[in-house]
Amino acid sequence: MKKDILVQLDNWLDKECILYYLDYDLKNNCYSKTGTIVKRFILPKNYEQLINIICFSKDINLDIKVIGETTNILFNDTVNYGVFISTKLVNSVQFKDNTVIVESGKSLPDFVRDVSMRGYGGYEGLEGIPGSIGGGIVMNAGAYGYEISDNLISVTYINENGEVITKNKSCLNFEKRNSIFKYKNLIILYAEFQLLHSPLEDIKNKIETFHIARHIYQEWTMPNLGSIFTAPRSLYDHFKFNSFKNKLSYKLTRKIFYNKIMRFFNRKKPSNERLNNIIKKDKNLNLLTVNCSHKNINTFCNQNNSTREIIDYIYSIYNSIDKKNIFLENELVEKSIYEIISKNDYNDIISKYKKILENEKI
């Protein structure tokens, strides 16, 4: 990416009165606490500005990356990035009759409260899921039997040609943690959802139940991106053991310490550390510098680790499991690279990341 194209971008942004930052610090301002800087961090205030920026970027052949709350994104600290467009301010909500139109940058937890306080149900299971509406739609976010696509009517987005398209839910290929948006260069502008009235006390009780459960069973102490992989069952069921002794130890430990009675007694502070330690021993994961959450081996904990160390952990886990119907949830940002800081580390990170993605397509 050349400097003169950034000057051209700056002049246009100033003319259009669009907010942006120079050399924006990613590591201290993103969810995973990874990355270095991005040369231009742009904050459109509505979807019309977002459309204009994207169209201008296409006109000058500028490589950009659109991001939301970054709750599923890993930034590469072996590069400095070029141009990111944040949807944080693209967050309006419009209630109309029995539907609501919400822009892509709206916080998902805030949206749940917006609809719940008005007595609309069907969104309770999305309580506590971090991220934006746009990111939630891309991944078809969900929990406790709910998915964001359940009450979705349509999505309006920008396609690869810069055209604004609206499509109904049936055309968007929603599956578990998947949609048409995941592997295509489509940028979500806003979505329309159906609203159904429900008793307010029922809504409140469900939200409280899901909120407590999420905080008990999810990692909250160290920076992380939640589940690394999506699996048909628990990821623990997909590990293949090298040693019969370790396999036997794992089965006995699970039977003794993770039966219904023990889970009841440990319900206020659940931990999978015993199972994690057996898997780490069998797979030599103790040699890695990144540690997993004691609650779930499927979640890394960033204790001031590098991107390479985190990718090494993800790659090692991936090579330790039965890969059938396993999909990566965490995204490494590869677009809009301004300069590579460490070429060897960069090549190693990209090589391992692409191997995982290639296996997903088989």
Q: Compute the average pLDDT of residues 19-35.
A: 97
Dihedral sign for Cα atoms in the order 110, 116, 121, 124: positive
* CATH code of the domain occupying 93-215: 3.30.465.10
Indicate the pLDDT class of residue 361, thresholds 50, 70 and 90: low
Which tokens belong to 309? 């160390």
Percent of the chain predicted with pLDDT > 90: 84
CATH architecture of 3-86: 2-Layer Sandwich (3.30)
What would the pLDDT profile of 129-172 be if each residue is shown by its tens digit? 999 999 999 999 998 889 999 999 999 999 988 999 999 999 99
Question: Rounded to an integer, what distance in angstroms lies between the CA atom of residue 102 and that of residue 91?
Answer: 7
- Chain centroid to CA 197: how far? 29
pLDDT class of 198 with cuts at 50, 70, 90: very high
Q: Where are the domains of the chain?
A: 3-86, 93-215, 220-330+342-360
Q: Mean pLDDT of all residues in the chain?
A: 94
338: helix, strand or coil: strand
